[in-house]
Chain A
Amino acid sequence: DAGVTQSPTHLIKTRGQQVTLRCSPKSGHDTVSWYQQALGQGPQFIFQYYEEEERQRGNFPDRFSGHQFPNYSSELNVNALLLGDSALYLCASSLQGNLNGYTFGSGTRLTVV
């Protein structure tokens, strides 16, 4: 049973560019959430997608946007990258209602130079 799959594992972008990160949820899960983890800190909630719609959003600017596809996979897009966007981006999947907790992927390490 595949867990949560994220791609790419690492990438380096230049300030001002745009980036797309991808996530495939664990089999049987229908909800995908994205988190940003800066070095040495706990993850911060970006947003959650369910039924192809954004259900909840954390305190992140509109430069951060997302999408969920009919197969429940998801993308995170970040426009006009800033140096401060450098972080580990984590995708988590769950069943609607989170009765059995979240399953996290291994993350995408984004470095903005």
Chain B
Amino acid sequence: KQEVTQIPAALSVPEGENLVLNCSFTDSAIYNLQWFRQDPGKGLTSLLLIQSSQREQTSGRLNASLDKSSGRSTLYIAASQPGDSATYLCAVYAGNMLTFGGGTRLMVKP
């Protein structure tokens, strides 16, 4: 059974810091991995999708890497801003379903 873990569970940083959010999964037989952002009480916004054959994806200040063999992904956020405050979720796709981690709750203080 696939299990996804995200570390840390919560993070509070001053504005401007570079951040690394971690995601690990137990079964490397995945098709892709997706990072999402969720604002309180809202739905999920897709940030980055990494296919299993890829090593990383970049979008603006965000960079996500994938090491399928070790079961790890990282989301790097450069020059964090208060508007980045949200919960970040990673999810792996296999067997016609997404398996999510518990999320990292990020607070960026002005």
Contacts and interface: CB of A to CB of B under 8 A. Distances in A.
Given A90-B43, A107-B42, A56 B101 contact: no
Interface residues on B, range: 20 to 34
Interface string A52-68: 00011010000000000
Contacts of A43: 44, 89, 91, 98, 100
Given A41-B102, A45-B99, A58-B97, A102 B43 contact: no
B32 A98 contact: yes
Nearest to A39: B41
B28 interface: no
B49 interface: yes
Instruction: Choose among A35, A42, A45 the residue with the greatest number of B CB atoms under 10 Å from its CB.
Output: A42
B96 A106 contact: no
Nearest to A105: B43
A21 interface: no
Interface string B24-49: 00000001101010000111111001
Contacts of A99: 51
Instruction: Choose among B89, B91, B97 the residue with the greatest number of A CB atoms under 10 Å from its CB.
Output: B97
B96 A55 contact: yes
Contacts of A103: 46
A42 B97 contact: no
Interface of B: 4, 31-32, 34, 36, 41-46, 49, 51, 89, 91, 93, 95-103
28 contacts: A6-B43, A33-B98, A35-B98, A35-B100, A41-B102, A41-B103, A42-B89, A42-B100, A42-B102, A43-B91, A44-B100, A48-B96, A56-B97, A88-B41, A90-B43, A90-B44, A99-B51, A101-B32, A101-B34, A101-B93, A102-B34, A102-B46, A102-B98, A103-B46, A104-B36, A104-B44, A106-B43, A107-B43
| Nearest 9 pairs of A and B residues by beta carbon | A42-B100, A106-B43, A104-B44, A56-B96, A101-B49, A45-B97, A107-B43, A104-B43, A42-B102
